[in-house]
Amino acid sequence: MNLIRKSLLLLVLMLATAVLAIVLRPSARITDERPPIDLKNLIPAQFGDWHEDPQSAAYVVNPQQKELIDRIYNQTLSRTYINAKGYRVMLSIAYGGDQSDSMQVHKPEVCYPAQGFQLLNTTAATLASPFGPLAVKHVDTRLGQRREPVTYWTTVGDQIVQSAINKKLVEMRFRFTGKIPDGLLFRVSSIDPEIARAYAIHASFINQLLAAVTPEQRLRLAGSFGTI
């Protein structure tokens, strides 16, 4: 599908969503049907080869603007993990109970540059997982001499959305059910000049973390694995 066709399809979906927003106004939150989420207790401090490094708080760069985080998200979690080789991975998770059009996740492609980072490359990727393929984004960033590769995904309800078209289709699905979906941003990054190595370590970290939680918790973190 070329760029023009994608743009036209996205425009049609946006118009359809606008019409549905008037005709089908969601009134029930999906969060009311689920147990409350507690990121601090959901994410283990130690799993697989990794354990939390509380002394590394200074390493964590949270590029989201605080006022925007407070408006969009109900909960955020930022931790640094370290393995036996001394490699550090920074984990950031943000959860919002309302992912209607007025309250949308704030992606790294936007918030990193807002904090002075240069975006070197952004690619869609599929992360192989024992639980199924995981649709992620790789974002290569730099701040001065600091190279920080990022792996992240976002969810709307129980679905990972990797593109604007996916996102609009999922939103339309929820509007037909009359429900307001929740949403989550899951991001890992590391300070590493070797980009391929960083993404491989991110994948291992993510898989070990997902294996350490229950199936129900995994669904909350990564949706149903894959895109529509």
Instruction: Report, in this order, helix, strand and coil percent for the chain, each rounded to 5.
Output: 40, 30, 30
Could you report the per-residue pLDDT of 122-181, keeping only the tens digit for each? Answer: 999 999 999 999 999 999 999 999 999 999 999 988 888 887 777 777 777 777 777 788
What are the DSSP E strand ranges found in 68-203? 75-82, 88-96, 118-127, 134-143, 146-156, 159-160, 179-180, 183-189
H/E stretch holding 166 reads helix 164-177
Given a cut of 80, is residue 27 above it in pLDDT?
A: no
Give every CB contact of residue 55 below 8 A, 6+ residues apart in sequence: none
In this predicted structure, what is the pLDDT of residue 151? Answer: 98
Judge contact between 192 and 151, C-beta under 8 A: no
- Residue 34: CB atoms within 10 A of its CB come to 14
Which pLDDT tens digit goes with each residue over 85-109? 999 999 999 988 776 554 455 688 9
pLDDT at 117 over 70: yes
> Is the pLDDT higher at 172 or at 43?
43
Quote the mean pLDDT of the chain: 83
Please say if the pLDDT value at position 63 is more than 60: no
Q: What is the mean pLDDT of residues 190-204?
A: 98
Structure-token pair, residue 123? 């690619």
Query: What local confidence, expressed as pLDDT, does residue 111 receive?
Result: 83
